Structure 1
Amino acid sequence: MEATIHQPAQDGAGKPFKVVPIMIALLISGFIGLFSETALNVALTDLMELLSITPATAQWLTTGYLLTLGILVPVSGFLLQWFTTKQLFVASLAFSILGTLTAALAPSFEVLLIARVIQAIGTAIMLPLMFNTILVIFPAEKRGAAMGIIGLVIMFAPAIGPTMAGLLIEKLSWHWIFWLSLPFLAISLLCGILFMQNVSKITKPKIDLLSIVLSTLGFGGIVFGFSSAGEGEGGWSSAKVIVSLAIGIVALILFSVRQLRMKNPMINLRAFKFPMFVIGVATVFICMMIILSSMLVLPIYLQSGFGMTAFSAGLLMLPGGIVNGILSPIMGRLFDKYGPKWLVLPGFLIAASALWFFSDVTPASTSALIIVLHSCLMIGISMIMMPAQTNGLNELPREFYPDGTAIMNTLQQVAGAIGTALAVSIMSAGTSSYMKTANNPNPIDALTSGVQNAFLFGMIVALAGLALSLFIKRVIVKGHKH
């Protein structure tokens, strides 16, 4: 391992990094950001009743959050070059605390939606900052383990979110999802103020407003278009969906052309010259589609098909989440030792098999079967996600880190929007076609038919990932020429 790209972990002033406190501050804030994101999903059914809103309106609490991330994360690579790590960290937490406090006090849907957008601004700054910091403070041979710990946090938050939310809704009220998060955010802010050091180079590149506008229209249009299609009003053929997707695609093409022509682009798309980075991005994209579509379909089915409460549905999904959280750091260490191929390939095989079995689930299936299948799916995901991501980012020279993390994190948000929208529309289409064609149709049988189709879609996506994983090679980090 050479020293030009991975100098000993020191900040700009030549002081060694305080790795443990920096990691603690990043992990707590990342955990809470993702916890409140998934915890609210379970509360949506109750919120519809309490705030008397329709499912399509309630969906905006998730869509608005994703949309804000889709718009802001691409700009993050740029922010990392303009502001110090500490400034961005404190700004991110200030937004998160303000948004969480507003949500905890929210008297109406409108206020809650504004609070979600403020929270998302905090998360949009935090996610790329977290990955970029890890790339700088850890040498390549230790990154797998560090990314594994982040994986534990990133996957553990969505896993316990639904269970905790179910319990809080049952015993207290939905406001407590946010009150619970506030003290942790305050601790994280304190850790950041005391220990955070600057890890990135401040180069202050010129601000190109046209790039920001095109990126906003591009990523925003695509996330909005897919999310609207998932809402079910007119589905894919509605004018809103077609226009949003068309604007998004055209703006993205113009954005890409502009970035490649600029001397100092907002996001340096030349990162795509590195083949393992491209495969890493594509693998993570597929993985996010699988996670978010199954995380949405399964709780709906457990509550509407099996007639479970939010808390019971959350409990049933908890073992899988815990398994994933425990395995993430182990997979990280295995990746450091053996490279990505022998983790990612079997990971996709396990995930595809679990989804295939899920496509046969009916309300007569036992809880034990659901727990086993969900745990197998989560084992597969833990073998894919962090190894593919770390391997892809390892191939980039240091000056590409902000761009690489911005590209990865942006496409994860887009994948989330696309995965959930496709899963919801496949589920709705399957349900309504069953209702039309069956004699004496039963709503639960119709829902089962839709859910089975959605899991088959997940399996096809996983098989595409399996084909892609055949081309993954370990990146050996050595003398990058600068």
Structure 2
Amino acid sequence: MAAPFFNVKSPKGMAAVLMIGTFLGLFGETALNMALTNIMEDFDVSAASAAWLTTGYLLVLAVLVPLSSYLVRWFTTRQLIVAALTFAIIGSLLGALAPNFTILLAGRFVQALATGIILPLMFSVVMLIFPIQKRGAVMGIVGIILTAGPALGPSIAGLIVSALSWRYIFWMMVVVYAAVIFLALSKVDNVSQVTRPKMDMLSLVSSTFGFGGVVFALATLAEQSITEAIVYGPLIVGLVLLVIFGVRQTKMEEPMIDLSVFKSPMFRLGVALMVATMFMILSVAILVPMFLKTVLGFAALTAGLCMLPGNVLNIMMSPIVGTNFDKVGAKIFTRIGFTMIFVSMMVFLMTISATTATWMVIVNLCIFFVGVSMTIMPAQTNAMNSLAPQKFADGSAALNTLTQIAGALGTAIAITMFTIGQQNYIEKFADALPAEFLAHGIHTAFIVVAVISVLGLIGSFFVKNVQPLEK
């Protein structure tokens, strides 16, 4: 049996700390979506202001995740995990006790800070503390975390909001985070090499404002036209700074993110497939609840429950895919998975209307999420397997940064296309019922998601199974 790269006293316990912490962070990314109307009423804020509870969260993640490979060279694994969980508890307490919207938003920023630290750390650490032959099974669980967190957010939050109050979403997080930090103190070991490289201010500034500008523009695009300065200004500045950031990394002895990871063809392809999958997950996560609530007229709790079967199947399938990853390989899994996702998108395009049967939506979501379970873990594991262990932190930072941007892009484009679709329908059919033009808007948005599914399916046919590098 091959030995793990780092011997730790409790690899399962350490993985549990990272996975639970990451799940809560990704759960928090979408959990407040079902509570926005309640928060708007409680604090008398507009929809645009309330949306910053989600937008701001994504913005902090986009800024912090690229710094993760830098942080692991400055601080020990134990220091980073304990700090992340401490920030998470502080942010959750601010949210639970917030007397006004400003404090609530500050709490969300602190929560995102915690997630931005622990999310990329989970990827790189679990690749280092388990033997190669167990990596598939472990990454199968990681796949559950990555998809189930944001997908279950609206469902669980809908139940909490209906039974209690939106503040109890934060109280629940406080309790679980407190239990996790107690576990971390006894289970977490150090697996990183602290070298404390000199901080490069140009990299820091260009990364922060580059990724931040792009995500801000994408999030704003959901409410403003691309022709508005508040959208194209940050977008252009962000893209220019990202180019500067990329060029700078190639000229440094110890870059913030070692972009040489992209020299690996399978890493590039794996990241592209992950980006496509996360784009579709976040798009579906906002379009389907919107369809169930605005077109079919379901309450938030009912809409959340309709999405549960697909999420449960994803949770059941992910460890099965992970356990069989070494036998089947990424090539077969990604092809089957993207085929199922493609079929799901085609069915959505053919059936979405004001009279769509609820059972059809539920069954189609099940097909979609089973497909997701077969793509996201194999794609990310195959990508990371193509890297040497010392490159895991850089690969994890690059992969997670791009998937967070993909999520923001998916949300923004979904809302933008939805708005365009319903406006076009109203112009053609002025006397249309609300359910009809809303359904047409959602159908229009699904066209983009369907195109992404086609690109993902094509990309899956270029996947080659990679044998992991041991040194």
* TM-score (norm: length of structure 1): 0.95
Aligned residues of 2:151 and 2:285 also touching (Cα < 8 A):
no
CA distance in 1, matches of 2:6, 2:417: 50
Match of 1:323 among 299, 302, 313: 313
Amino acid at match of 2:443: Q
1:370 has 2:361 as partner: yes
1:313 has 2:300 as partner: no
The answer for the alignment partner of 1:240 in structure 2 is 230
Q: Aligned runs of 1:388-407 on 2, under 5 Å?
A: 388-407=379-398
1:439 Cα deviation from its structure 2 partner: 4.1
The answer for the alignment partner of 1:105 in structure 2 is 97
Aligned residues of 1:159 and 1:320 also touching (Cα < 8 A):
no
Q: Greater shift after overlay, 362-371 or 56-65?
A: 362-371
Q: Greater shift after overlay, 210-219 or 166-175?
A: 166-175
Match of 1:43 among 35, 57, 64: 35
1:478 Cα deviation from its structure 2 partner: 4.7
Amino acid at match of 1:124: G
The answer for the alignment partner of 1:450 in structure 2 is 441
1:467 Cα deviation from its structure 2 partner: 1.0
CA distance in 2, matches of 1:8, 1:152: 23
- Secondary structure of the corresponding residue to residue 356 of structure 1: helix
Deviations 1:135-173 (A, max 9, x none): 111233321110111222333333432222112212211
- Secondary structure of the corresponding residue to residue 297 of structure 2: coil
Match of 1:165 among 129, 136, 157: 157
1:345 has 2:335 as partner: yes
CA distance in 2, matches of 1:367, 1:19: 43
* TM-score (norm: length of structure 2): 0.97
CA distance in 2, matches of 1:20, 1:202: 23
Aligned residues of 1:357 and 1:373 also touching (Cα < 8 A):
yes
- Secondary structure of the corresponding residue to residue 237 of structure 1: coil
Q: Aligned runs of 1:60-459 on 2, under 5 Å?
A: 60-230=52-222, 232-233=223-224, 235-359=225-349, 360-459=351-450
Aligned residues of 2:344 and 2:367 also touching (Cα < 8 A):
yes
- Secondary structure of the corresponding residue to residue 192 of structure 2: coil
1:473 has 2:469 as partner: no
- Secondary structure of the corresponding residue to residue 236 of structure 1: coil
Amino acid at match of 1:92: A
**Number of residue pairs matched by the alignment:** 470
Amino acid at match of 1:329: P
Deviations 1:107-160 (A, max 9, x none): 222111111000000000000111111111123332111011122233333343
Aligned residues of 1:284 and 1:412 also touching (Cα < 8 A):
yes
The change in CA–CA distance for 1:478 and 1:33 in structure 2 (over 3 A counts) is closer
Aligned residues of 1:17 and 1:137 also touching (Cα < 8 A):
no
Q: Greater shift after overlay, 326-335 or 88-97?
A: 326-335
CA distance in 1, matches of 2:289, 2:38: 14
Aligned residues of 2:87 and 2:111 also touching (Cα < 8 A):
yes
Aligned residues of 1:345 and 1:469 also touching (Cα < 8 A):
yes
Aligned residues of 2:147 and 2:281 also touching (Cα < 8 A):
no
Amino acid at match of 1:379: V
CA distance in 2, matches of 1:477, 1:149: 18
In structure 2, stretches of 5+ residues that fail to align are: none
Amino acid at match of 2:258: N
1:405 Cα deviation from its structure 2 partner: 0.4
CA distance in 1, matches of 2:133, 2:270: 17
Aligned residues of 1:10 and 1:17 also touching (Cα < 8 A):
no
Aligned residues of 1:214 and 1:251 also touching (Cα < 8 A):
yes
The answer for the alignment partner of 1:59 in structure 2 is 51
Amino acid at match of 1:40: L
Deviations 1:282-317 (A, max 9, x none): 110010000001101111111111111110000000
1:177 Cα deviation from its structure 2 partner: 0.7
Aligned residues of 1:25 and 1:192 also touching (Cα < 8 A):
yes
CA distance in 1, matches of 2:434, 2:445: 17
Identity level (%): 42
Deviations 1:77-131 (A, max 9, x none): 0001111110000000011000000000112221111110000000000001111
CA distance in 2, matches of 1:350, 1:48: 38
Amino acid at match of 2:375: I
Aligned residues of 1:44 and 1:58 also touching (Cα < 8 A):
yes
Deviations 1:172-199 (A, max 9, x none): 1110111111111011101111110001
1:10 Cα deviation from its structure 2 partner: 3.4
- Secondary structure of the corresponding residue to residue 472 of structure 1: coil
Aligned residues of 2:388 and 2:470 also touching (Cα < 8 A):
no
Deviations 1:423-482 (A, max 9, x none): 1100000011111111412222111111001112111001001111111101113565xx
CA distance in 1, matches of 2:57, 2:168: 19
Deviations 1:196-242 (A, max 9, x none): 00011112221111101000111111100110001x23x21111111
CA distance in 2, matches of 1:181, 1:463: 38
CA distance in 2, matches of 1:81, 1:439: 60
CA distance in 1, matches of 2:150, 2:87: 21
Deviations 1:375-421 (A, max 9, x none): 11101111100100000001101121110000011111100111111
Deviations 1:253-305 (A, max 9, x none): 11000000111111000111111110011110010000001101111111111
CA distance in 2, matches of 1:338, 1:259: 36
Cα RMSD between the aligned structures?
A: 1.4
- Secondary structure of the corresponding residue to residue 341 of structure 2: helix
- Secondary structure of the corresponding residue to residue 161 of structure 2: helix
- Secondary structure of the corresponding residue to residue 204 of structure 1: coil
Q: Greater shift after overlay, 95-104 or 355-364?
A: 355-364
Aligned residues of 1:356 and 1:455 also touching (Cα < 8 A):
no
CA distance in 1, matches of 2:372, 2:96: 33
